[in-house]
Structure 1
Amino acid sequence: MDLPRLPVGEAVEALVDWIEEYCGWLLDGISAGLRFLVDGLQEILLLIPAPILILLITVLVWFVTRRDTKLAAVTALGLLLIWNLNLWDLSMLTLALVITSTILALAIAIPLGIAAARSETLNAALRPVLDFMQTMPSFVYLIPAVIFFGLGSVPAIIATVIFAMPPALRLTNLGIRQVPGELIEVADAFGTTPRQKLFKVQLPVALPTIMAGVNQCIMLALSMTVIASMIGAGGLGYQVLVGIQRVDIGMGFEAGLAIVIIAVILDRITQNVVPPQQEDR
């Protein structure tokens, strides 16, 4: 005897129709806001002449990495190569998508991670949700993003935020929980308020762990923006997609190389943000 088929698909379609009917105004507002952010950031990056921006990024890497001249030189050479390959505009769009997505993901993940570290109930509720988010194939995130926001950079940002958020949330939660109990007792003994204890004790001690989450968030955001080229997100990911469709090995390799250069630069910057005294704790 065959069991009756559960109407899972129909239920999801009904939910989507309900959201579009009653929350369409909210989706339109979110779409307009995100489009404004990413377009504005891209225009700012493109407004600065490429040689000047390359110099600024090189100086930033040199300063953040505590005067690592070799890494700064590699950064400059990598960015000059991107410029030479005529991929600068596409790289700036990819960078704008990554920065926008990362900022939004961290704005959600870090406060939630702090709240989860303080509440066992919230932590228990978030754990299966994060497990689900991290085991779900990345392509699946594109489906609801396209349904609610159409094609373009906005659904790419939405999908990227959801995909990149879990590591930052988990590591923020872990970092706060790993603060030694002795430090908490000392802070309580001095009569600190919960806010003072958070900003003057817990967050500074947990900063290396939190920055590891930020680093993972940025790397996942960069990888997802490439996948999001399938739903109309421009940038280097679209160049890779076109190279695959045309079986153009050279085009795909050049765009992929540019992505690797950007990933290495962002990785080195975030890994060296924490001062040495923080790392030794």
Structure 2
Amino acid sequence: MEDLLQHSYGEPSSYMSTDTHIALLADRIGQAQYDAIVALLDRSASTGDAERLLRGSEFFRGLVERHIRWLAQDADLTATNLAGEFDTFEARLSAEGSALESEVTLTSALRVLRQRAMLHIVWRSFTSETGLDETLSTMSALADCVIRVAVRFAEATLAKRFGYPIGEESGKQQTLIVIGMGKLGGQELNLSSDIDIMFAYDEAGSTQGGRSSISNQEFFTRVAQLVIKLIDTTTHEGRVFRVDTRLRPFGDSGALVASYQALE
């Protein structure tokens, strides 16, 4: 557990008094945010863990500062079922629709989701409220959620131009299949893991209903490229996960996306 936590917030280079730290924090972020942090400490730091973590972890402190309003109003750092929160996130995006219409908005939303999940996981790990199994399962559930949302957005985006991919034998609409490999495949992602994935689809064919038609292979290759961009691109809010696709057949020299027949 110590190795897990050290990656997430590192060894503190020095310790300042709690009063000094809070004073500097209040001066930097303003009185309203200062009051919210104090409320957070009062609410959850009966053993002094929150003060210790805020002093010693620049990573955790940065997350607290960026998400102070959420922490003060809505967050429950003792919650044990973040997978349910991820389901809620997906449902909200589907209901609102707007986030799935804008690449910029969705890119930000996915990174905020990651940051809040990390804040929750690091806090629970530091205060020994959780074991390693919960951390691994939560990170894996986060990755699964992000991949589903990214695939849905990417397919809808490409379909506006090319229509939807139709199987030449079944005549049915096809969808991109993402296969988790490595730690993701075993549902064992830790705080620093990248995600090893392969992309596949069922049937060859071509798109129908768009302004122009392309092969299913080309359609899903473009979808996969956009999925990687949504998850792996580093913005001012960071990235969601590093994406590694080198475990596919023939590695980097092979096709990014393959049909089931080609995989066989």
Shorter-normalised TM range: 0.3 to 0.5
TM-score for the superposition, normalised by structure 1: 0.33
